[in-house]
Structure 1
Amino acid sequence: MEFSHNDNNNLPLTKFESMLKTNHVLFFDSEEFENIIHHYLNQGKIALAKKAIKLGLDQHPTSINLKLFKVEVFVFEDNLPEADTLLNELHSLDPMNEEIYIQKANVYSKKDNHEQAIEVLKKALQLTDDVVDLYSLIGMEYLFLDQFEEAKTYFMKCLESDLNDYSALYNIIYCFEFLKQHEEAISYLNLFLDKNPYCEVAWHQLGKQYFTLKDYNKALTSFDFAIISDDTFVGAYLERGKVLEKLKRYEDAIENYTITLQLDEPTSFALLRIGSCYEKLNNDDLALQFYDRTVHEDPLLDKGWIAITRFYNRKKNYQKALYFINRAINIDSENVTYWKLYSQINHRLNFYEEAERGFKKTLELGNYELNTWLSRGDLLIKLGEPQAAIYNFEQALDFYPESAELEYRLAGLYFSLNENNKGTFHLKNGLRLNEEYAFIIEELFPKVSNKLFVKNLLKTNP
Structure 2
Amino acid sequence: MQFSHEDEHYNLSLNKFESMLKTNNVLFFDSEEFENIIHHYLDLGKISLAKKALKLGLEQHPSSTNLQLFQVEMYVMSDDFDKANKLLDKLYELEPNNEEIYIQKANVLSKQDEHLKAIEALKIALTLNDDPYDSIDIYSLIGMEYLFIDDYNNARKYFTKCVELDPEDYSALYNVIYCYDFADKSDEAILFLNTYLDKNPYSEVAWHQLGKQYFNQKAYKKALAAFDFAIFSDDTFIGAYLEKGKVLEKQHNYKEAIENYKYTLLLDEPSSFALLRIGYCYQKMGNDELALYHFNKTVHEDPLLDKGWIAITKFYIKQNNYQKALYYINKAVNIDSENVLYWKLYAQINHRLKSYEEAEHGYKRTLELGNYEIETWMARADILILLGEYEAAVFNLDQASEFYPENAEIQYRLAGLHFTLGNNTEAEYHMVNGLKFNADYHFIIDELFPKLSSKKILKQLQSKNKKG
What TM-score comes out, normalization by structure 1 length? 0.96
Q: 1:418 offset after TM fit, Å?
A: 4.2
Listed as ranges, the matches of 1:200-211 within 5 Å are: 200-211=204-215
The corresponding residue for 2:293 is: 289
- Of 432, 447, 455, the residue aligned with 2:451 is 447
Q: 1:191 offset after TM fit, Å?
A: 0.4
SS in 2 for 1:276: helix
Q: In the aligned structure 1, how far is the partner of 2:460 from the partner of 2:52?
A: 89
Q: In the aligned structure 1, how far is the partner of 2:399 from the partner of 2:44?
A: 54
Q: In the aligned structure 2, how far is the partner of 1:27 from the partner of 1:61?
A: 13
Partner amino acid for 1:111? Q
Listed as ranges, the matches of 1:192-231 within 5 Å are: 192-231=196-235
Partner amino acid for 1:262? L
Q: Deviations over 1:201-245 (max 9, x none)?
A: 001001111111111111111111111110000111111111111
Name the stretch that deviates more: 318-327 or 412-421. 412-421
The corresponding residue for 2:277 is: 273
1:392 has 2:396 as partner: yes
Q: In the aligned structure 2, how far is the partner of 1:405 from the partner of 1:441?
A: 10
Name the stretch that deviates more: 128-137 or 61-70. 61-70
Q: 1:7 offset after TM fit, Å?
A: 5.6
1:181 has 2:191 as partner: no
Q: 1:82 offset after TM fit, Å?
A: 1.5
Give the aligned length: 460
Name the stretch that deviates more: 281-290 or 44-53. 44-53
The corresponding residue for 1:23 is: 24
Q: Deviations over 1:322-380 (max 9, x none)?
A: 00111111111111111111111011111111111111111222222211111111111
Q: Deviations over 1:27-46 (max 9, x none)?
A: 22222222222222222222
Q: Deviations over 1:262-320 (max 9, x none)?
A: 11111111111111111111111111111111111111111111111011001000000
Q: In the aligned structure 2, how far is the partner of 1:457 from the partner of 1:69?
A: 79
Partner amino acid for 1:75? V
SS in 2 for 1:461: helix
Q: In the aligned structure 2, how far is the partner of 1:452 from the partner of 1:18?
A: 94
Residues 64, 405 of structure 1: alpha-carbon distance in 2 compared, 3 angstrom cutoff: same
Q: Deviations over 1:39-61 (max 9, x none)?
A: 22222222222222222222222
The corresponding residue for 2:64 is: 63
The corresponding residue for 1:95 is: 96
The corresponding residue for 2:8 is: 8
User: Gapped runs of 5+ residues in structure 1?
Assistant: none
Q: In the aligned structure 1, how far is the partner of 2:303 from the partner of 2:229?
A: 34
The corresponding residue for 1:302 is: 306
- Of 155, 171, 189, the residue aligned with 1:151 is 155
SS in 2 for 1:8: helix
The corresponding residue for 1:134 is: 138
Partner amino acid for 1:376? R
The corresponding residue for 1:436 is: 440
What fraction of aligned residue pairs are identical, expressed as a percent?
66
SS in 1 for 2:235: coil
Listed as ranges, the matches of 1:306-455 within 5 Å are: 306-455=310-459
What TM-score comes out, normalization by structure 2 length? 0.95
1:246 has 2:250 as partner: yes
Cα-Cα RMSD: 1.8
Q: In the aligned structure 1, how far is the partner of 2:16 from the partner of 2:394?
A: 78
Listed as ranges, the matches of 1:255-270 within 5 Å are: 255-270=259-274
Residues 391, 45 of structure 1: alpha-carbon distance in 2 compared, 3 angstrom cutoff: closer
Q: 1:452 offset after TM fit, Å?
A: 4.0
Partner amino acid for 1:13? L
Q: In the aligned structure 2, how far is the partner of 1:318 from the partner of 1:438?
A: 33
Q: Deviations over 1:409-432 (max 9, x none)?
A: 122223334443332222221111
The corresponding residue for 2:107 is: 106
Q: 1:164 offset after TM fit, Å?
A: 0.5
Q: In the aligned structure 1, how far is the partner of 2:407 from the partner of 2:46?
A: 60
Partner amino acid for 1:102? I
Residues 425, 65 of structure 1: alpha-carbon distance in 2 compared, 3 angstrom cutoff: closer
Partner amino acid for 2:400? A
User: Gapped runs of 5+ residues in structure 2?
Assistant: none
